[in-house]
């Protein structure tokens, strides 16, 4: 016959299996901090590019040695620069976020590409892909002041959507992004600051809070 | 007073069978490989316990394909859910009795 402590252990097993199988718990707070830092650096470079463009420095500074330059208008040049920054930022943030989460997954014993991680990924990607196409179309229609709000709103929705399948606190990060995005709709021209606040500051604050709550004591 | 231990379900005596049920209680359907990964068991071991649960009527098995690979998914039946809940209720009673 099983003893009482055995029964207690089986209750703990049940709880642990339910937890482990329903939520992806390896997401590291440090991933958030790293992504936030990448976003702040990107926002700084982006702001420089925009300021240069607005002051017309690029048009006066064109050089004959740059063969390609003559074919692009300053506007196209800015667009290309910002796209390049965005692409580098996305890759860098993803790589750093992945590294910290991978390190953490070795501690929690939940595989980084397991069943729960895949579910989080799918639920993040649905709003993100729709948002990506939406933003592409905004850009084509030259409604540039809507790009930053759209990034924040769709990302916020993606986080709220995925929060059911990972750390529940990510829901609040999602709400934060959503609120910033919505306010930004009525403050066009300030997009880069809202973008930096959402993708930069909120990520860092969230990351530190999560690291304090879940990881500091376990290390 | 009746010994509450008599109310425990023998099927759930085993850690793997209990793990399978725990996972399926909170997930609609889970495939064989994901169960294996989460429970950290071998194919043969898991398969044996899944058969036991299926014969007991606690699990429903869906055989499908992803491309050319077989993809077998499992869902919990109403009977399985009820028996598992009863089992947990008894466990709770025992633990409360200890306190």
* ipTM value for the complex: 0.75
Chain A residues with CB-CB distance to B34 below 8 A: 114-115
Q: Are A167 and A124 in contact (CB under 8 A)?
A: no
H/E run at residue B86: helix B78-98
Residue B38 and residue A20: Cβ atoms within 8 Å? yes
Q: Distance between CA A13 and CA B28 in Å, rounded?
A: 20
Q: In this complex, which of A8, A14, A20 lies closest to B95 when CB atoms are compared? A: A8
Q: Taking a contact as any Cβ pair under 8 Å apart, which residues of chain A between 110 and 169 contact chain B?
A: 111, 114-115
Q: pTM of this prediction?
A: 0.79
Token pair, residue B62, equals 């869906």
- CA-based nearest residue in chain A for residue B33: A115
Give the pairing type, strands B69-76 and B30-31.
Answer: antiparallel
Token pair, residue B57, equals 């009527």
Question: 3-state DSSP: chain A helix, strand, coil percent, rounded to 5?
Answer: 80, 0, 15
Would an 8 Å CB–CB cutoff place B72 in contact with chain A?
Answer: no
Q: What is the mean pLDDT of residues B18-24?
A: 92
Q: Distance between CA A171 and CA A158 in Å, rounded?
A: 9
Query: Which tens digits make up the pLDDT trace of B36-88?
Result: 988 889 999 999 999 999 999 999 999 988 888 888 999 999 999 999 999 88
What average pLDDT is seen over chain A?
87
Q: Distance between CA B88 and CA A197 in Å, rounded?
A: 47
Place of tokens 């609120």: A179
Q: Please choose, from the candidates A117, A116, A214, A109, the residue with its C-alpha nearest in 3D space to the C-alpha of residue A169.
A: A214
Q: Residue A94: CB partners within 8 Å, gap ≥ 6? A: A35
Query: Which tens digits make up the pLDDT trace of A2-59?
Result: 566 777 788 888 888 888 888 888 889 999 999 999 999 999 999 999 888 888 755 5
Best mutation site among A18, A111, A119, A164 for testing chain B: the one with the most B CBs within 10 Å? A18
């Amino acid at each position: 016959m099983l003893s009482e402590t055995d029964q207690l252990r089986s209750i703990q097993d049940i709880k642990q299996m339910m937890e482990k199988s329903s939520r992806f718990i390896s997401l590291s707070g440090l991933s958030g901090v790293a992504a936030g830092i990448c976003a702040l650096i990107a926002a700084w470079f982006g702001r420089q590019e925009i300021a240069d463009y607005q002051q017309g420095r690029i048009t006066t500074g064109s050089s004959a040695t740059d063969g390609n330059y003559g074919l692009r208008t300053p506007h196209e040049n800015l667009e290309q620069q910002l796209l390049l920054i965005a692409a580098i930022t996305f890759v860098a943030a993803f790589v750093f976020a992945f590294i910290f989460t991978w390190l953490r997954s070795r501690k929690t014993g939940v595989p980084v590409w397991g069943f729960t991680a895949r579910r989080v990924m799918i639920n993040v990607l649905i709003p993100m892909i729709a948002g990506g196409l939406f933003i592409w179309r905004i850009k084509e229609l030259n409604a540039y002041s809507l790009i930053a709000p759209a990034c924040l709103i769709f990302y916020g929705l993606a986080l709220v959507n995925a929060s059911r399948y990972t750390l529940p606190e990510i829901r609040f990060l999602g709400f934060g992004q959503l609120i910033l995005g919505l306010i930004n709709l009525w403050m066009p021209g300030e997009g880069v600051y809202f973008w930096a606040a959402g993708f930069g500051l909120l990520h860092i604050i969230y990351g530190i809070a999560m690291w304090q709550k879940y990881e500091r004591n376990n290390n | 007073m009746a010994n509450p231990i008599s109310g425990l379900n023998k099927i759930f005596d085993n850690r793997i069978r209990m793990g399978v049920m725990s996972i399926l209680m909170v997930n609609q359907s889970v495939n064989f490989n994901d169960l294996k990964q989460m429970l950290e068991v071998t194919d043969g071991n898991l398969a044996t316990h899944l058969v036991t649960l299926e014969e007991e009527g606690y699990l429903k098995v869906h055989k499908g394909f992803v491309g050319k690979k077989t993809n077998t998914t499992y869902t919990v039946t109403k009977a399985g859910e009820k028996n598992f809940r009863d089992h947990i209720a008894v466990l709770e009673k025992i633990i409360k009795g200890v306190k």
